[in-house]
Structure 1
Amino acid sequence: MKRISGQAEPVVTAASEARHAPDQARLALGFTDDGGVTRLTRRQHFGPLRVQKPLYPEHASVCHAVIVHPPGGIVGGDQLDISAEVGAGAHALLTTPGAGKWYRAHGRQSQQAVRLQAQAGATLEWLPQETIFFDAADVRMTHEVELAADAAYIGAEILCFGRTASGEVFQRGSVAQRTSIRRGGKLVWFEQGRLQAEQGAMTGPLALDGQTICATLVAVGDGMDNALLSQLRQHIDALGLEGRSGATLMKQVLVARYMGQSSLVARQWLHAAWHVLRPAVLARQAAIPRIWNT
């Protein structure tokens, strides 16, 4: 066993991955406003997906929930299904205790489906830590968000292709993603893509262009304007981070992206963008979850 950030991580070999029986795991969460307190009122799970007890590090009205996948990594053939519904007037922040790891496929595709809902006046934040794709992973990820007309949402991800710290290159494998966000019944954001390493996606100018890390932050809500977009860009530029970043505002949707070579830098970028956007979109100062620093 080796230990990372205070948690034991199993050593995974090619033989152990090949013998692994695929997991079918589901987690369904529900959050309800109770007189100004957001309570975790639904917690159903099947297979190796759990949520730790609700946390309130910033205010009783904001419930932080940490989603845990006990095996520590997703092996070829595994299927994860996560859903969460935030009731009217409630505010939930969902995160993870550490980086998600997607191991090599061994001929079996792994899948993750995330479905999120926020009712009238609700706020939902989806802020998992980094996702690491091992070489030869075959992954399909879908992310669907349904928002009431006056609900707000911030979602983010950091994708790491290959374990660059150990010299691994993502030179084989596939990662397919599809994201859709609806607000008030209208589709306000949709994107899909598939990165196929063998077809030059890691180096192609229309894909990663030689970078190994990419990050995205999407904010949906009211109160965003060109002044906020300018503030975000200036704030990021002032940090002088290595890599490339940009941001675009489309009415009620703001999308910011980063590409580079370091997950630590990507995390700095994401935290900085979140600190600018959260007060403007959610009317609340950014409060870094303690689990991010362990």
Structure 2
Amino acid sequence: MPDASHSPSLPRSHWQARLSLGFVNDAGTTRLTEREHVGPLRVQKALYPEHPSVCHAVIVHPPGGVVGGDQLDIAVRVGREAAVFISTPGAAKWYRANGHVSRQTVRLDVAAGASLEWLPQETIFFNNAHVHLDSAITLHGDATYFGCDILCFGRTASGETFNAGTIAQHCTIRRDGKLIWFEQGRIEGAGTIMHSPLGLAGKTVCATLLVAGKPITPSALTTLREKLGPQVGITQTKAILVVRHLGNSSEVARALMMQAWQALRPLHLAREAVVPRIWNT
């Protein structure tokens, strides 16, 4: 695909893409039983790299990037006692706005006894991107949720900074109808938050891992902090464990989030973390 960030007059209509996935536990095997899509969002097949009880799915966006005006809608439902791991084959790229706002809406619903690991690879915002990201996670009973975001502002490897554009985020997590996590923010490329110590403090990469499940023990929390070191901040509340990192390298952020996931997965899901091959390609 041509680099749409450098093709403001590229003759294409805006993509309106939707993907709906449903998973159920079938006698100990998690199966992908619902797969509906409109536009360029796909899951090609269910994968079982670790055990039939855990279904892995890779969401593919064939255009390779999101142009101003595109809209992506993703809905995932995980049935009782099912276990699902969802990732992406590579970094998501949000190109410059060209006068339009791009949007992504994610709706995740996880039944009692089930788990969903939502671990896409990093997201890169090109300069002059205008993006709205909206995520709503609904948990039932003792459902467990892992969710990770690695946000990269500008293509630093190409010498590009994010000094124009807007990124707006809104995220909620509810358990049995009760709001247990609410976060929203708006980052202006030309605003002070990019350099404020209360914002990104001049860093170009921020990463967050949220884990909604049974709180880990104080000793496990101490061990995790010692393992990850001073590059991350870790907060444990009654409902959510939060791991955050600010830096200038997507590779470092990804490695830290992976280490956190590898340490926390056995504690929350009673199974070892099997790194998907797609993360190493």
TM bucket (normalised to shorter chain) is over 0.9
Q: Tell me, what secondary structure is at the counterpart of 1:286?
A: coil
Measured in 1, the distance between the counterparts of 2:198 and 2:11 equals 37
Residue identity opposite 1:289 in structure 2 = P
Contact 1:17 1:76 in 2 (8 A): no
What are the ranges of 5 or more consecutive residues in structure 1 without an aligned counterpart?
Answer: 1-8
Instruction: Give the superposition deviation at 1:123.
Output: 0.4
Task: Specify the SS of the correspondent of 2:266.
Answer: helix
C-alpha distance in structure 1 between counterparts of 2:198 and 2:241, whole Å: 21
**Matched residue, 2:13:** 21
Q: Secondary structure at the match of 2:273?
A: coil
In 1, distance between residues paired with 2:199 and 2:113? 37
Q: Does 1:66 align with 2:53?
A: no
Change (3 A) 1:188 1:13: closer
How many aligned positions are there? 281
3-state SS in 1 of match to 2:105: strand
Q: Which residue among 87, 97, 104 is the counterpart of 2:96?
A: 104
SS in 1 for 2:152: strand
Q: For residue 227 of structure 2, give the secondary structure of its aligned residue in structure 1.
A: helix
Contact residue 96 and residue 129 of structure 1 kept, 8 A: yes
The alignment partner of 2:208 has SS state of strand
The answer for the alignment partner of 2:206 in structure 1 is 214
Is 1:290 paired with 2:277?
yes
> Structure 2 matches for 1:31-110, cutoff 5 A?
31-110=23-102
For residues 166 and 258 of structure 2, what CA distance do their matches in structure 1 show?
A: 28
Q: Could you tell me how far 1:17 is from its partner in structure 2?
A: 5.5
Q: Show the counterpart of 2:267.
A: 280
SS in 2 for 1:83: strand
Paired amino acid for 2:272: Q
* Corresponding residue of 2:233: 246
1:268 and 2:260 matched = no
**Hey, what does 1:4 align to over in structure 2?**
none
Answering whether residue 111 of structure 2 is matched by residue 119 of structure 1, we say: yes
1:133 CA drift (Å):
0.1
CA distance in 2, matches of 1:181, 1:16: 37
- Listed one character per residue, the Cα deviations across residues 91-121 of structure 1 (whole Å, up to 9, x for unaligned) are 0011000000000001100000000011110
Q: What whole-Å deviation, never above 9, does each CA across 1:144-198 have from its counterpart, x for those lacking one?
A: 1001121000000100000000100000000000110011221111100000111
On the 8 A contact 1:150/1:184 being kept in 2, the answer is no
Unaligned runs of 5+ in 2: none
1:249: how far off? 0.4
| Residue pair 2:215, 2:238 contacting (<8 A) in 1 also | no
Q: Is the 1:18–1:106 contact (alpha carbons within 8 Å) kept by the matching residues of 2?
A: no
Counterpart in the other structure of 1:132: 124
Secondary structure (helix, strand or coil) at the match of 2:275 reads coil
Distance 1:107 1:32 in 2: 42
Q: 1:204 to 1:19 in 2, by over 3 A?
A: farther
Q: Is the 8 A contact 1:28 1:43 kept in 2?
A: yes
Q: Could you tell me how far apart the structure 1 residues matched to 2:125 and 2:205 are?
A: 10
Aligned-partner Cα distance in 1 for 2:133–2:96: 15
